Amino acid sequence: MSEKVYNVLFLCTGNSARSILAEALMDHWGKGLFKGYSAGSHPKGEVHPLSLALLSQVGLKSDGLTSKSWDSFGLPGAPQMDYVFTVCDQAAGESCPIWPGHPITAHWGLPDPAAAAGNEAQQMIAFREAFRQLERRIQLFVALRHKEMSRVAAERKVA
């Protein structure tokens, strides 16, 4: 019998940087037990080029990463989420859709690297910092004993 795969959705307003990085990181660190997804309340329609460049630099897959609306995850046939994390303060303050299955939700806010000022090298520093913070949170998240935790314990730990 195969183990349950937990679906994890990362939300941000534009779905071009933080949520995209988190999706790729979840797929990497989740090792087949967690599947990452991302979406935005007002998607930019394209992934930020520095997100793709950073993922390439660190050797993570970026195939199939797209900027899309969070509405697509409320449609019939969409994967049912077990966890939903907002990674930007603006998306956390918006009225989110009602997610099928009532996933556990939490806010993991961090600064938007796409808003960083300066030249490309200075902007990449902001992308690397967001990546580092997300990677550490995701590593801690996947290390939790999800099958052994009650919903209340899971809600407390992921927050």
Question: Would you say residue 85 lies in a domain?
Answer: yes
Tell me what pLDDT residue 149 has. Answer: 81
Find the catalytic residue in 8, 11, 12, 39: 12
Please identify which of the residues 81, 88, 92, 130 carries the catalytic annotation: 88
The residue-averaged pLDDT of 127-151 equals 92
Q: What is the DSSP letter of 147?
A: G
Active site residue 147: no
- Of the listed ranges 20-24, 62-66, 104-108, 148-152, the least confidently predicted one is 148-152
In a domain, 131, yes or no: yes
Q: What's the structural domain count of the chain?
A: 1
Q: Which domain holds residue 76?
A: 6-158
Any domain includes 90:
yes
Is 153 among the domain residues? yes
Q: How far apart are CA 144 and CA 80, in angstroms?
A: 20
pLDDT at 94: 59
Mean pLDDT on 77-91: 86
Which pLDDT score, from 0 to 100, does residue 22 have?
A: 98
Q: Model-level pTM?
A: 0.91
Lowest mean pLDDT among 5-14, 103-112, 126-135, 150-159: 150-159
Q: Is 12 part of the annotated catalytic residue set?
A: yes
Residue 1 belongs to some domain of the structure? no
**CATH number of domain containing 84:** 3.40.50.2300
DSSP H or E segment with residue 50: helix 49-57
Q: Is the pLDDT of residue 98 over 70?
A: no
Residue 47: what are its φ and ψ, rounded to 5°? -80, 135
* Catalytic annotation, pick one of 52, 58, 78, 96: 96
Q: CB count, 10 Å around CB of 69?
A: 15
The mean pLDDT value for 2-17 works out to: 91
- Report which of 18, 77, 64 is spatially closest to residue 43, judged by C-alpha positions: 18
The three-state DSSP-derived secondary structure of 70-129 is: HHHHHCCCCCCCCEEEECCHHHHHCCCCCCCCCCEEEECCCCCHHHCCCCHHHHHHHHHH
Residue 96 is among the residues annotated as catalytic for this protein = yes
pLDDT at 17: 96
Separation CA 32–CA 107 (nearest Å)? 24
